[in-house]
A and B are shown apart, each in its own frame.
Chain A
Amino acid sequence: MSGGRPPVVRAPQATDVRGDPVDVTVLLFAAHRDLAGADRTVVSLPDRATVAVVLAELRGRGGGWAALPERAAVAVNRRYAHMETELAEGDEVALIPPVAGG
């Protein structure tokens, strides 16, 4: 499960080396949702920021958000992914607490 996306080909832009900010939607479930008091939120990030940056942004909101884990299992666009997975505009990031189906 590489989860790799095709490389984005960009025209060189000397004034915009980091690209435009992107918005991703974050979904929270079960104990994470209880901590945050929300089941979804939108996070604005530098283009190609990683999932780890999303976690840091959420924890930095303080309150119950600060109790979210530094590292968690995650899915990006409904596929299991990694803290290092890079994100693009419109991605759906889900924090996956330890699972307990069956």
Chain B
Amino acid sequence: MIWSAITTSPIDTREVLSRVGAEEDGAVALFLGIVRNSNGGRPVSGMEYEGYAEMAQEQLAEITGEAAERAQTDRVAAVHRLGALAVGDVSVAIAVSTPHRAQAFDAARYVIEQIKVRLPVWKREYYLDRDAEWLDGQVPVAHGGKVG
């Protein structure tokens, strides 16, 4: 199945994996984005993800559809979490299964790279040693061109 979701609940990676896979598939790629404990040398205590949830859902559905087309598979699953996350939490999970590994890696990479440039999601980092800040982002690039 091609599946995508925006959620405020913890991401269950086994559940995401269970949405892909078929008897003809010899490869499954799983990518996880994780909140890390530092950024630019500053210790981070946590992260708050804010999103334009309705639009993010639509964009993620488009992105997974495009990835499936690239990989010639219908086994692509992606979920992005919003809300307050702690160091070590999974912020995004992407699973793709294909007959051979190249397409699975390529499609999973496509999904995360498109999330980085298109998904209307923002993050505010909380630091141990100073006030929280919105992180610098990427000027969004719509499928097929620049926006604004």
Contact assessment for B140 and A100 in the assembled complex, using a CB-CB cutoff below 8 Å: no
A101 and B54 alpha carbons, distance in the complex (Å): 15
Q: Residues 110-148 of chain B: 1 if any A CB is under 8 Å from the residue's CB, otherwise 0? A: 001001111111111000000000111111101111011
In the complex, per-residue mask of B78-96: 1 if CB is within 8 Å of any chain A CB, else 0: 0010000000000110000
- Distance (Å) between the CB of B52 and the closest chain A CB? 6
Query: Would you call A97 an interface residue if the criterion is a C-beta within 8 Å of the partner chain's C-beta atoms?
Result: yes
Q: Mostly helix, strand, loop or mixed at chain B's interface?
A: mixed
- B3: CB under 8 A from chain A? no
The 21 listed contacts between A and B (C-beta, < 8 Å) are A29-B50, A29-B120, A30-B50, A30-B124, A31-B122, A80-B140, A81-B147, A83-B148, A94-B52, A99-B117, A99-B121, A99-B122, A99-B137, A100-B122, A100-B134, A100-B135, A100-B138, A102-B80, A102-B112, A102-B115, A102-B121
Contact surface of B with A, Cβ cutoff 8 Å? 33, 49-52, 54-56, 58, 80, 91-92, 112, 115-124, 134-140, 142-145, 147-148
